Amino acid sequence: MTEELKNSDNQWLRKQIVEISRRLSAEGFNINSSGNVSVRAQRGQKEGFLVTPSGVDYETMRPSDLVFVELKKDAAVFWGKLKPSSEWQLHEHIYRKRPDVGSVVHTHSCYATALSCMEEAIPPFHYMIALSNAAKINCAKYATFGSVELAQHAVDALGEQSLACLLSHHGVIACGKDLQKAFALAREVENLSHMWLLIRNSSGSCEMIKSTEMDKILEKFKHYGQTGTNVK
């Protein structure tokens, strides 16, 4: 894990998580208290992550309601007055497996969840699939919500590099180096899911982008956007 992913558990970070959670609700990605959001963080010398609490409506959720989950070697320890999200193990497994991930956003967005209920991956029909850092967005096998099995299936679907997957009959996982990137990817997965469902339900056909081309796109996306180097 790089130093830039080590956020301190502070009021500013907690406010950011609450703000993004409310935006997900306002934009229709999550209804009532569905879905959850987390950010990798430190509490003093304790390594872990901040996660939204279980069953609390985003509109009434306060920064102090967030739960810090300490990632000890063989167990997790909770710090907070409320219970963490029922999917805390989903976040825990991803953070333990993927040191490159700094934030996880889990949604029940409409189109992506519809695809997940069909247990389908999102294939390389559009180049923006590469925002997931993979040539397609897998669908994890079904397991009961809040279970260790679901967490493991999600980790398996993400693999070593993908930043997004669907959860069978459930929803979406979007990861990022930080909260803003995870949020942006969750929005993109929903947009791609909408497009793919329109294509599937049309009478026309759709050629997939060839694997060699997807490799080129994935390489280009490594340098996409503002990378900190100015061209003079």
Please pick, among 87, 92, 120, 190, the residue that the annotation labels catalytic: 87
Structural element, H or E, at residue 176: strand 171-176
Structure tokens given for 12: 């500013």
Structural element, H or E, at residue 85: none
Q: What is the mean pLDDT of the chain?
A: 92
- Residue range 189-202: mean pLDDT, rounded: 94
Per residue in 91-114, pLDDT (tens digit) is 999 999 999 999 999 999 999 999
Q: What is the pLDDT at residue 6?
A: 73
From the number of C-beta atoms within 10 Å of its C-beta (0-12, 13-18, 19+), residue 67 rates as: buried
* Known catalytic residue at 149: no
Residue 148, in any domain of the structure: yes
Residue 170, in any domain of the structure: yes
CA 181 to each of CA 152, 175, 194: distance values in angstroms, whole numbers, following the listed order: 23, 7, 20
Per residue in 49-63, pLDDT (tens digit) is 999 999 999 999 999
Q: What is the pLDDT at residue 231?
A: 47
Q: Specify whether the CB–CB gap between 151 and 170 falls below 8 A.
A: no
Per residue in 13-32, pLDDT (tens digit) is 999 999 999 999 999 898 87
Question: Phi, psi (5° rounding) for residue 186?
Answer: -60, -40
Q: What is the pLDDT at residue 75?
A: 87
Structural domain that includes position 102: 3-221
Q: What is the pLDDT at residue 33?
A: 73
Q: Specify whether the CB–CB gap between 130 and 217 falls below 8 A.
A: yes
Say which range, 4-8, 80-84, 88-92, 183-187, has the weakest mean pLDDT: 4-8
Q: Which amino acid is at 106?
A: H
Q: Specify whether the CB–CB gap between 193 and 122 falls below 8 A.
A: yes
Residue 187, in any domain of the structure: yes
Q: How many domains does the chain have?
A: 1
Per residue in 117-169, pLDDT (tens digit) is 999 999 999 999 999 999 999 999 999 999 999 999 999 999 999 999 999 99
Residue 226, in any domain of the structure: no
Which residues on neighbouring strands pair with residue 54, listed in sequence order? Answer: none
Residue 231, in any domain of the structure: no
CATH code of residue 185: 3.40.225.10
Percent of the chain residues topping a pLDDT of 70: 94
Residue 119, in any domain of the structure: yes
Long-range contacts of 43-52 (CB under 8 A, 24+ apart): 43/8, 43/9, 43/68, 43/70, 43/79, 46/70, 46/79, 47/71, 48/76, 49/91, 49/92, 49/95, 50/9, 50/13, 50/14, 50/17, 51/84, 51/85, 51/88, 51/91, 52/17, 52/21, 52/84, 52/85
227 against 181, higher pLDDT: 181
Q: For residue 229, is pLDDT > 90?
A: no
Report if pTM > 0.85.
yes
Sole residue written with tokens 């930043």: 163
Sole residue written with tokens 């850092």: 133
- Residue range 164-176: mean pLDDT, rounded: 98
Residue 41, in any domain of the structure: yes
Say which range, 18-27, 125-134, 205-214, 219-228, has the weakest mean pLDDT: 219-228
Short-list 225, 228, 231, CA closest to 181: 225
Short-list 214, 42, 65, 27, CA closest to 130: 214
